[in-house]
Structure 1
Amino acid sequence: MDSVLLSRMLFGTSMAFHIIFATLGVGVTLMIFFAEILHWIKKDRDYGVMAKRWTKGFAILLGVAIPSGTIVGVMLSLLWPGFMEIVGKVIAVPFQIEIFAFFLEAVFMSIYVYAADRLSNVMRIVSVAFVAFGASSSAFLINIAHSWMNTPRGFDVVDGAITDIDPWAAVLNPSMAVTSKHVLATAYMTGAFVLVSIAAFRLLRKTSSGQERAYHKKGLMLALVIALLASLYTATNGHSTAGMLHEEMPLKLAAAEGLFETQANAPLAIMGIPDVEAEAVVGGIEIPGMLSWLATGSSDGVVQGLNDFPQDEWPPLFVHTLFNLMVGIGFSLIGIAVLALGWAIVFRRRNLPTWLLVVLVTTGPLSMLGIEFGWIFSCVGRQPWTIYGFQLTSSAATNSGNVGILFFLFISLYIMLLVMTGLVLRYYFARNPVYKDLQAPQGEAF
């Protein structure tokens, strides 16, 4: 394999690993914030216990998120020197500010955990609010750099030299707002659905006491409400994303939908496989005019097709499958959340049936898969460009050897860390079951 492909494989694997912990770091902190608010408003100790236990889990995940994020940062410099040369000149601002966002998160996390039993309810809420704000801000700032790679602004290239640099034009690039809202909403959704999975799994265990089951039901309902709201917002954000792609990256939109010919009343292709020879999506279901409506706001709108662009600039057409999997998972999660909440509202005094709890257990893994598919789609859909329209991936990558050895070493490291993280989480919560926290003296918070 050439060094460019190996660099993409190594960096992509590193990002896929880190995104698990980064996403949960954003989503779970928001859930802790809501648990603290409900604890204060309802004076229900169960919500205080939720905040405590979710914080312990988050702290363990943070112990992996920090070093994995550091690895990704180092790999940017080692694997993509050509890219980092431009980044350092044009889009360094978000990376610089992100340091302060992480500092804010770390400081208030320490205050929240180690001084919790000496803080009033209001100050506990303020502390965890800053933790959640710092985590969300970090994700927002890093996403600015990613959005800039898709819609670069704030510089010109003259005879190979970077000129007319405007850092704030780079920050405020055309895709910044819509992609940042999408990234944050999906992180909140995923964090909530992971907690839904955990609560549903615990409720499936018939040995739990009545007090524990009541606790898990409250956690399940809280997480389901937040998950549904975030999922609905993510779905509505899709219209804005389609419009942005239509204006700024029409080739990526055409590849995502397998649209070969430029046309009005363009159909939305669901599933199927794009066939280059047939110039159509084979085996898919087409909804006439829907793609035009999503992209332009009118079913009569004209959407550019793949044939308008040189074929050597087409991204791999499997991005159509990635896009459909991402969207399909998103709508499935909305349906599951609506079903579970509807059942709980209609049958107030009944427990959720076993089959529904089993379905709810799958929502956490499904939402994480949706995150992974979405990030792969976003990055692969930009190929062959690292900076869209300005720098080819082949020009950004390192020419040094031994990347293949590093790839296998880091794959082994990530597998080991995943296993160890799972074992640590299981060991900690097995040694500290929920009934101990529920029966602990009222003043013990952490």
Structure 2
Amino acid sequence: MDEILLARSTFGTTMAFHIIFASLGVGLPLMILLAEVLYLRTKDSDYRLMAKRWIKGQAILLGVAIPSGTIAGVQLSLLWPGFMEVVGKVISLPFQIEIFAFFLEALFMSIYVYAADRLTPWMRLLSVFLVLVGATASAVLITNVHAFEGTPAGFDIVNGQIVNVDPWAAFFNPSFVVTALHVTVSAYMTGAFVIATVAAYKMLKTRKDTKEFHFHQKALLMGLIVGGTFSLLTALNGHESAQYLHRYQPEKLAAAEGLFETQPYAPLAIGGYTDPVTKEVKYAIEIPWALSFLAANRFDEVVVGLNDFPQEYWPPLFIHVLFNGMVGIGSLLIFVGFIGFAWKKLLKRESYPRWVMWIFVASGPLSILGIEFGWVFACTGRQPWVIYRMMTTAEAATKAEGLGFFFAIFLAIYILLGIVTVLVFKYYFRRHPLRLQDGSQEAAK
């Protein structure tokens, strides 16, 4: 296998693993905060118990996110020395500030985990809020480096030298805001739907006339409402992201939709796959004019096709499948959230049909899969550039050989970490089952 492809595969595997824990590490604190708010407002101690149990899950996830994130940082230096030279001189600010964001998250999560019973409700609320701020800031700051790769700013490369450096211009690059919003709302959506998954599964295994069933029912409704709301916000932000691609990375948008000819009134291709030989998207459903509207909110907008770019600058054409997977899952989750809310609040039904419950169970894994599709699409769709139109992936990669061994080692590490994480969750919550008492609920220690 090509060494550059091995470097990409090694780092890509690391990020595919880490992003699961990073996304949940941002999304779960929001759910914990909302549970604390509902407890303050309703005095229903079920919500207090939810918060105390969910924070234990957050602590386990953070315990895996830290080593996997550390591995990612080390791999950046080892596998991408050319890119890290630019990072060190131009875009190091997000990395530096992220350290303080992580300290904020870790400090107040420790306070909440170990001292929650000795804090007043308002102090607990403040602690969880600062955990949420720290986790969200960490995600935004790290993702800002990815935004910079797609819309570089704040420096020039002249005769191979980095000149005219403006770190703040690099920090606030053109896609900073839209990327920050996208990573935030998608993480909040994922955290909520994972809560919904667990609650729905527990409800399927519990008798309807028990307090435990009603406890999980509250958690399910909370997860569906929050998840559905943020899935809608993710879709709206995704529309804005497509407009940024149209403006700054037109070949990426063209590859995402399998568009080869530049044209106004461009159609949107749903489904199918892109055939590089015939230069068409086979078995797709085309919506006339929709791509032009997606790109610029007008049907007559001219969308640039792949044929206007040298073929060596084309992103891999399979990103059309990734793009459709991401959008399809996001659309389904909007529908899932709406069904959950409407069935309970509008139709006033006491319980959901069993087949609907299994859809709720699937919502969490689907949201994680949607994030994976989106992340791979975003990074692969930028190829062959590591810094768009300024540095190719080949120029940034290490010249070392023998990377296949390291790829295998890291893959084994992630498999082991994944298995251990599942076992720790099962062991902890089996030893600390949900206990509900008459008139009150007490959290597991």
Aligned to 1:286, the other structure's residue is in SS state: strand
Amino acid at match of 2:328: G
- 1:402 Cα shift? 2.5
Post-superposition offset of 1:206: 3.3
Aligned equivalents of 2:403 and 2:170: distance in 1?
31
For residues 120-269 of structure 1, the aligned pairs below 5 Å read 120-207=120-207, 210-269=210-269
Aligned partners of 1:276, 1:401: CA distance in 2, in Å? 31
Offset of residue 350 of structure 1: 2.2
**CA apart distance, 1:400:** 1.1
Q: Deviations over 1:4-52 (max 9, x none)?
A: 1110010000000000100000000110000000011110000000000
Matched, 1:390 2:390: yes
Matching of residue 25 in structure 1 with residue 22 in structure 2: no
Alpha-carbon offset, residue 211 of structure 1: 0.8
3-state SS of the aligned residue for 1:300?
coil
Partner of 2:418: 418
Deviation, structure 1 residue 427: 1.0
User: Does the 8 A contact of 1:7 with 1:397 survive in 2?
Assistant: yes
| Alignment-derived partner of residue 59 in structure 2 | 59
SS in 1 for 2:435: helix
C-alpha contact (below 8 Å) 2:195/2:220 kept by paired residues: yes
Deviates more, 1:90-99 or 1:341-350: 341-350
Query: How far off is 1:439 after superposition?
Result: 6.8
Whole-Å separation in 2 of the counterparts to 1:276 and 1:260: 10
Q: Please state how far the C-alpha of 1:171 moved relative to its aligned partner.
A: 0.8
Q: Which residue of 1 aligns with 2:105?
A: 105
Aligned positions of 1:4-23 closer than 5 A: 4-23=4-23
- 1:91-144 Cα distance to aligned partner (Å, 9 max, x none): 000000000000000111111111111111111000100000000000000011
Find the aligned partners of 2:282 and 2:214 in 1 and give their Cα distance: 50
Secondary structure at the counterpart of residue 263 of structure 1: coil
Q: Where does structure 2 lack aligned partners over 5 or more consecutive residues?
A: none
Shift of 1:209: 6.1
Moved over 4 A (4+): 438-446
| Structure 2 counterpart SS, 1:420 | helix
CA offsets, 1:374-429, max 9 Å, x none? 00000000000111101111111111122110111111111111011001101111
Offset of residue 207 of structure 1: 4.4
Structure 2 vs 1, CA of residues 251 and 416 (structure 1 numbering), >3 Å: closer, same or farther?
same
CA distance in 2, matches of 1:272, 1:395: 33
8 Å contact 2:434–2:443 — kept in the other structure?
no
Q: In structure 1, how many angstroms separate the alpha carbons of the residues matched to 2:365 and 2:440?
A: 35
What is the DSSP-based 3-state SS (H/G/I as helix, E as strand, rest coil) of the residue aligned with 1:386? strand
Aligned to 1:324: 324
Partner AA of 1:212 in structure 2:
E
- Structure-2 change in CA distance of 1:74 and 1:127 (3 Å): same
Residue identity opposite 1:153 in structure 2: A
Secondary structure of the residue aligned to 2:317 is coil
Give the drift of 1:443: 7.8
| 1:444 Cα deviation from its structure 2 partner | 6.5
Letter in 1 for 2:12: G
1:277 is displaced (CA, Å) by 2.9
Q: Percent of aligned positions with the same letter in both sequences?
A: 56
Aligned to 1:363: 363
Structure 1 residues 41 and 295: CA distance shift in structure 2, 3 A? same
How many residues in Structure 1 have an aligned counterpart in Structure 2? 445
Asked if the contact 2:343–2:349 (Cα under 8 Å) also holds between the matched residues in 1, the reply is no
2:293 maps to what in 1?
293
Structure 1 unmatched ranges of 5 or more: none
The equivalent of 2:350 in structure 1 is 350
* Distance in 2 separating the partners of 1:144 and 1:381: 17
Q: Quick one: which amino acid aligns to residue 362 of structure 1?
A: A
Q: Give the secondary-structure state (helix, strand or coil) at the position aligned to 2:286.
A: strand
Aligned residues of 1:117 and 1:443 also touching (Cα < 8 A): no
CA shift for structure 1 position 435: 1.8
Q: What SS does structure 1 have at the residue aligned with 2:27? A: helix
- Relative distance call for 1:299 and 1:132 in structure 2 (3 A) is same
Name the SS for the 1:277 alignment partner.
coil
Task: Specify the code of the residue in structure 2 equivalent to 1:187.
Answer: A
Contact 2:49 2:443 (8 Å CA) reproduced? no
- TM-score, scaled relative to structure 1: 0.97
Residue 72 of structure 1: how far off its partner (Å): 0.4
Cα separation, 2, equivalents of 1:228 and 1:35: 17
Q: TM-score, normalised by structure 2?
A: 0.98
